[in-house]
Each structure stands twice: as C-alpha cells, then as structure tokens.
Amino acid sequence: MPIFDQPFTENRKRKMENAGYQKQFVELLKQTVPAHISLAEEVSEVLKISADSAYRRLRGETDLSLDEVMQLARHFQISMDSLWSMQPGAVTFQVHPFTGAMDGFAVYLESLHRDLQLLLKADSSHVTYAAEDLPVFYSLFFPSLARFKVGYWNKSTLNVQSLQSLCIEDIPIPEHWFVLMREIAESFVHLNTTEIWNEDSLKSTIRQVRYYWEAGFIREKETALAVCSDLVKIIELLRSQCENGYKRSPGSGQQTTTTYELYTCDLMIGSNCVIIQAGEREASYIGYNSFNYMRTLNSWFNTQEKAWMQNLIAKSTLISKVAEKQRFQFFKELLKQTEQLRADIVAV
C-alpha cells in the first residue's frame, strides 16, 4: 500500500466504525421508545434541532456528536455500556440513589411505576423473576403488608432518622403513595410472568415482622396479625394462580388473561434477579439493599443472566397447572411458616 494512501484508509476505517456505533445507538433508542411515540420527534425536542435534522441523524446521514449522544442517553436512560455490548466483562448499571429521606423512596416508587407502564405499552412483554425474597410487587398487593414493608424499608433499610423512634403504626406514609402502590400492583398483574421460588422466599419477610413485633416497633397486636393475614392472602392468591395458570387481580380477585408460571427450586436462589423482555428489548434487574434494584441493558450481561436463569429453571419443578402434589406441599410449607408467626404473636 502506498504510504500516501494510508491516512485516507485509516480515516475511512474510523468513519465506518463510527457509523456502526451510531447505528447501534439508534437501534437502542428504537428499543427504548414505546411504539406510539415518534422517535424523531423526541430526538428533535431533546437536541433542540429540526425534525429533518433529527431524521438525518437517525438515518446515519449526519454524525451524532458526543454531546448529543450523552444528552439522548440521559433522556432515554440508556447506559453507555450498551454500545460496547460485544466487549464482555465491563457492565454499567443504573441505580436509584437514596439520601436517607423518605422523598427518595417516592422517587423509587415513581420509577418502578414508569418502568411497568412502558412494559405494558410494548407489543409483547414477559417478566422472569428469581425470588430469593418476597418479590417487591407482592409486598404492595395488600394494605397492611404494604404499610409494614414501606415503614420497614424506610426505617430500617434506608435508616431515615426521623423514623427511628416511631412504631409502624406512627410512621407517616403519604396517601398518594398507597395510590401509586396499588397502580404498581395492578400493572404487574397484567404482565406475563414466570417466577422461581423456594421454601425460603417468604422467610425474610416473616423474620422482619417477627423482629419488629419482638422489638416493640409494632405496638398493636392487631397490626401484626393483619400483616400475617395479608401474607396468607398472598399465598392463597399464588395458589389460585398456579391452579389456573393465569394471574388474578389482588384488588378484585378476578382472573385475568395474563399467563403465570411458578417453579419451585430446592437450590438456594442466592439473589433477587429479574429479566424483562419487551419486544426486542431486554433488561436485567438485580436486587440489592433489600428492595432496591440496579438495571442494565447490556446484551452480554443479559445473556449471562438468561443462561443462569434457564439453568435454575432446569433444576426446578413447574407447579402451575401441573404437579398437583408438589404444589400442595409447597403452599402447605408457606402456610406453616406464616401460621407459626401468627401463633407466636397471639401467644404474647
């Protein structure tokens, strides 16, 4: 190759690489934006450019600057590591930071609600949930348990200082939080779901209730017993969903057309992990700090998580619509744990 051709060749190579990255970034944008929203209009508004200029960038006719990529990534909540998905080992997650104030939990609820609404708008969505603990959605299904969980998370997990001397009954929870929690619960009911539980999935919640009761953070026996009753309602709801293979609304009790699968696993699950599939888009949610989660769109990581999840499912027993004996035994054990908690509270 003549030496004077080399700069031209290198420039052309870099231009082709940049075009490839831009095309990949645009594909991520398309996966992120719901079908009913015009991507070009959104890009035009975010970058403060004309619609024609937005179309040229989406078609690759005009290069996106680094500043423009960063603006779009922030607006659409796309992690930049998604652009380097062919390079395994380096993964960036989005997290919900908390400041030790209850306002942070409100932001968490709003974000959870927004994510569910986007999933419901997708052509087809599916949630696969490996539940080391009671899935956060179920914690919001019934009012007494929801009040206890939100109080516990803010007082003990987030360590909100103003709550440290308060009992569960005295923790001020804004009424609009309960409205938002009901909407989150109902949204989750309308997402096709596969769950993996084991006999320990309910134990952390039972321990939380027991600790608060024994430490005096639940003042009234009726409060503790109402939480126990809600745990029983969840078990009965799960059993009904397993028998029919469809979800039920926690509010009305009506059966939906949303499919439901439940696997029981004798292995230790190890962590709360959720894999979301919405059309061609995939995301992994990894639980941490009791109820919080970190999210990534990184395709390499998602592939790893799906392989782990499929391996867990392969070693589990499907009890929805089949395996009647195993289903009976599983729910009998969950009820036994809950009834023991109730008996210990009554005995005091």
Whether 84 is covered by a domain: the verdict is no
Does 102 lie in the same domain as 70? no
Whether 212 is covered by a domain: the verdict is yes
Confidence of residue 220 (pLDDT cuts 50, 70, 90): very high
pLDDT of residue 155: 93
pLDDT digits (tens, 9 = 90+) for 41-86: 888 888 988 888 888 888 888 888 888 888 888 787 776 655 555 4
Whether 235 is covered by a domain: the verdict is yes
pTM beyond 0.95, yes or no? no
Identify the domain containing residue 249 by its residue range.
Answer: 94-347
Strands 316-318 and 255-265: antiparallel
Q: What gap in Å lies between CA 245 and CA 192, rounded to an integer?
A: 10
Does 106 lie in the same domain as 43? no
Does 22 lie in the same domain as 161? no
CA nearest to 63, candidates 125, 3, 14, 101: 14
- Other CB atoms within 10 Å distance of the CB of residue 106: 14
Does 163 lie in the same domain as 300? yes
Count: domains in the chain: 2
Whether 87 is covered by a domain: the verdict is no
**Cβ-contact 100, 160 below 8 angstroms:** yes
Using the 3D structure, point to which of 43, 78, 113 is the last residue of a domain: 78
Least confidently predicted of 108-117, 178-187, 335-344: 108-117
pLDDT of residue 19: 59
pLDDT digits (tens, 9 = 90+) for 158-207: 889 999 999 999 999 999 999 999 999 999 999 999 999 998 999 999 99
Q: Is the dihedral of CA 7, 10, 16, 21 positive or negative?
A: negative
Strands 94-95 and 255-265: unpaired
Whether 287 is covered by a domain: the verdict is yes
